[in-house]
Chains A and B, each alone.
Chain A
Amino acid sequence: MYNFTYHRAGSVDEAASLISDNEDAKLLAGGMTLLPTMKQRLAMPSDLVDLNEIGDLSGISVDGGTVTIGATTRHADVAASADVQAAIPALAALANQIGDPQVRNRGTIGGSLANADPAADYPAAVVGLGATVVTNKREIAGDDFFVDMFETALDEGEIITAVRFPVPQKASYFKFPNPASRYPIVGVMVAVTDAGVRVGITGAAPSAFRNAEMEAALGSNFSVDALDGISVDADGLNEDMHASAAYRASLVSTGAKRAVAAIA
């Protein structure tokens, strides 16, 4: 790992000013993606701005129909939260399937979303549940947040402070993990919300997306049968040594059916 200057930020404002003066600086949250990348010398920031000691960036609150999760809340704390388990059990279950226990004890929701790995789990929840990403500057609708592979709507130096999830009537997450890395090859979040059915898909394409045809079919008939005959286009889906685009397309169909079957 190349060396860098370390800064322990005491507040979001302090972090923002440390990062905005310096385009080679990077924010450090759980470090579960950034530090391995730096160890392999694939990243060489001049400065790291550590968000971990900013107390009010971490924590979970439920208010009416909304679950708000602070940016540095660890995956393990989302998974173990009685509030999240009661309000959105599918979200707690998703968090509990990320990586392994040690990764979940450090990794954070803000870091996962900012990183926008095409195979990350949380993007399926942000898109599938219609969440809002709150930053130090503005609020970004989940549908607009993921732009491309490892690319988000965040500006240079913009800091995620929290994520707000509207509580759905019911929701379910199906994950088909890569047996070695445990990242999803495909993950599908299906949610029945007051505004209709949403289907959020991760792992399959460069960034998380919704499937309008499935949403419409499930909106008029929320059953596994409603998904019969809807074929997913493999064009533009990811293809790598783990799975072809056609296989991923098939996993999206199967994943959506399994997610629906769990709550229909």
Chain B
Amino acid sequence: MTVKVTTTVNGNQVSGDVEPNTLLVHFIRENLELTGTHVGCDTSQCGACTVHVDGRPVKSCTMLAVQAEGHEVTTIEGIGEEGNLHPMQAAFQEEHGLQCGFCTPGMIMASIGIVDRNKDNLSEEVVRHELEGNICRCTGYHNIVKSVLAGARDM
């Protein structure tokens, strides 16, 4: 039996009928057709699905769509747009923080959280430690760390 869910995504109120076992990431990708949020694993480890719920990065593959009821969700589509990128998006572009790009939306959403939490004590060490929940198969992380530090300077 479907359940009605009403939530705010990227500032817009949205609602839909979902099965209780619909994951938030599938609601975002399939019902809302916002396909920037990716699914890279089924063990809650890769972070490709990272979105913000009430301003905090979470793995949208490990939350039910119905649990977003009454909360505010922000996806990669909600932080910037072509020609007007979020500073963290621009930094990933400038610093070559991506290769295939699969992990990138999750990396950027997690990175914004890292900067929010560590405004006063951001360092390479902090960034490396706090990227623990995001896996990248291409870059070797080095340019991602550079991107986060560069993005933080402009945020």
Residue numbers of A with Cβ under 8 A of B are 1-6, 8, 28, 31-32, 35-36, 38-40, 48, 50, 52-53, 76, 80, 99-103, 105-106, 181-182
CB within 8 Å of A: which B51-80 residues: 53, 56-59, 62-64, 66-67, 69-70
Given contacts A6-B3, A102-B133, contact A40 B110 (CB under 8 A): no
Add 10 more A-B contacts to A8-B69, A31-B63, A35-B62 (CB < 8 A). A1-B21, A3-B19, A5-B20, A8-B66, A36-B42, A39-B42, A101-B110, A102-B58, A103-B44, A106-B59
Contact A100 B133 (CB under 8 A): yes
Contact A102 B63 (CB under 8 A): no
Instruction: Return chain B residues, CB-CB under 8 Å to A102.
Output: 47, 50, 57-59, 110, 133
Contact B69 A3 (CB under 8 A): no
Bound: A157/B21 CA distance, A: 22
Contact A4 B20 (CB under 8 A): yes
**Minimum Cβ distance to chain A for residue B27 (Å):** 13
Residue numbers of B with Cβ under 8 A of A are 1, 3, 19-21, 23, 42-45, 47, 50, 53, 56-59, 62-64, 66-67, 69-70, 110, 113-114, 117, 130, 132-134
Instruction: Return chain B residues, CB-CB under 8 Å to A48.
Output: 20, 64
Contact B42 A101 (CB under 8 A): no
Bound: A48/B64 CA distance, A: 11
Indicate the member of A1, A52, A102, A106 with the most B CB atoms within 10 Å.
A102
